[in-house]
């Protein structure tokens, strides 16, 4: 478990208690400014606070141990230098003091998992948005973390790439990886997450399985929008009233 207990970060989060489970996809949702990215960064150990990994405070781990265990994909997707896709993915091996052969194998596996082998020697600057998003995720996968925390990984991706990435996250969860995604699309959270944490003004407004945490009442209370869930249980759509 990766758990925050009464996490308070002045001006951003107030008394937030929430946990991520291994083998599950957890969606973190909420209006703009609700503290989603801050909570994710706290789970990643980038903001100090009472967050514990299987009972051990994150602060008690060395930066290297933490980096080996928790993979973090920021929203901005910055790559300062025009690296090749392979070199970019290999940066994920930085926390590991392993042999060259192990690094090679992990990097190749990450590229293969995201169907990027034929892009391996292409430079990042020449990729399309979807290819770039996959290359950045390959960097995280190459580090073989037990936890993957991604900040709006689906933003700016077309439908096919969104689906491909969501399948990848599901596959990783099936292998035991704990996944947390900051999402804006509530239908994605409802259909693809195992648990949802709803934040409002830095506090947890609702938490639980999607059908319990993301009810029409919660959406009205948190977003101030009257919306209705429609469609079958595995492919819910959120309809907004015109008025």
Partner 1 sequence: MTRPIAILLAALVLAIPLSLLAGQVWISPFGPPVRNAIPILMELRLPRAVLALVIGAGLGASGAAMQGYLRNPLADPGLFGIAPMAALGAVLSFYTGFSVQPFALPLFALAGGAIAMVLLALIAGRSGGIALFTLAGMMIASLAGALTSLAISLSPNPFALSEIVTWLMGALADRGWHEVWIALPPTLLGLILLARAGPALDALTLGEAAARSLGMEPRRLQVLMVAGVGLIVGAGVAVAGIIGFVGLVVPHLVRPFTDGRPSALLIPSALAGALLLLIADCLCRLLPLAGGELRLGIALSLIGAPFFLRLLLKMRKELG
Summarize as ranges the residues that interact with partner 1 (CB under 8 A).
41, 44-46, 63-64, 66-68, 70-74, 76, 78-84, 87, 91-92, 94-95, 123, 139, 143
Tokens representing 183 are 């999402």
Both ends of the chain: CA-CA distance in Å? 43
- Using the minimum distance from each CB to partner 1, give the nearer residue, 68 or 168: 68
CB of 46 to partner 1, least distance (A): 5
Cα separation, 209 vs 192, whole angstroms? 11
- Using the minimum distance from each CB to partner 1, give the nearer residue, 87 or 215: 87
- Using the minimum distance from each CB to partner 1, give the nearer residue, 78 or 233: 78
Rounded (to 5) percent helix, strand, coil in the chain? 40, 25, 35
- Residue pair 174/3 in contact by the 8 Å Cβ criterion: no
CB of 76 to partner 1, least distance (A): 6
- Residue pair 4/51 in contact by the 8 Å Cβ criterion: yes
Return the DSSP state at 92.
G
CB of 101 to partner 1, least distance (A): 18
Return the DSSP state at 241.
P
- Using the minimum distance from each CB to partner 1, give the nearer residue, 40 or 219: 40
CB of 68 to partner 1, least distance (A): 8
């Amino acid at each position: 478990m990766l758990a925050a207990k009464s996490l308070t970060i002045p001006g951003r989060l107030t008394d937030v208690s929430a946990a991520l489970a291994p083998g599950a996809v957890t969606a973190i949702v909420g209006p703009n400014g609700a503290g989603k990215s801050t909570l994710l960064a706290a789970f990643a150990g980038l903001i100090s606070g009472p967050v514990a990994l299987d009972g051990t405070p994150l602060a008690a781990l060395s930066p290297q141990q933490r980096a080996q265990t928790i993979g973090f994909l920021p929203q901005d997707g910055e790559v300062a230098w025009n690296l090749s896709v392979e070199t970019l993915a290999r940066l994920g091996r930085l926390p590991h003091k392993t042999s060259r052969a192990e690094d090679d194998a992990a990097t190749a596996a990450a590229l293969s998992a995201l169907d990027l082998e034929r892009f391996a020697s292409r430079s990042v600057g020449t990729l399309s948005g979807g290819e770039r998003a996959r290359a950045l995720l390959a960097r995280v996968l190459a580090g073989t973390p037990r936890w993957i925390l991604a900040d709006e990984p689906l933003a700016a991706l077309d439908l096919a790439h969104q689906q491909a990435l969501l399948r990848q996250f599901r596959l990783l969860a099936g292998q035991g990886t704990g996944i947390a995604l900051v999402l804006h699309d509530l239908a994605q959270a409802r259909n693809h997450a195992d648990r949802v944490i709803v934040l409002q003004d830095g506090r947890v407004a609702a938490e639980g399985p999607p059908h319990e945490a993301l009810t029409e009442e919660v959406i009205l209370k948190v977003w101030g929008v009257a919306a209705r869930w429609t469609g079958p249980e595995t492919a819910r759509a959120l309809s907004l009233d015109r008025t």
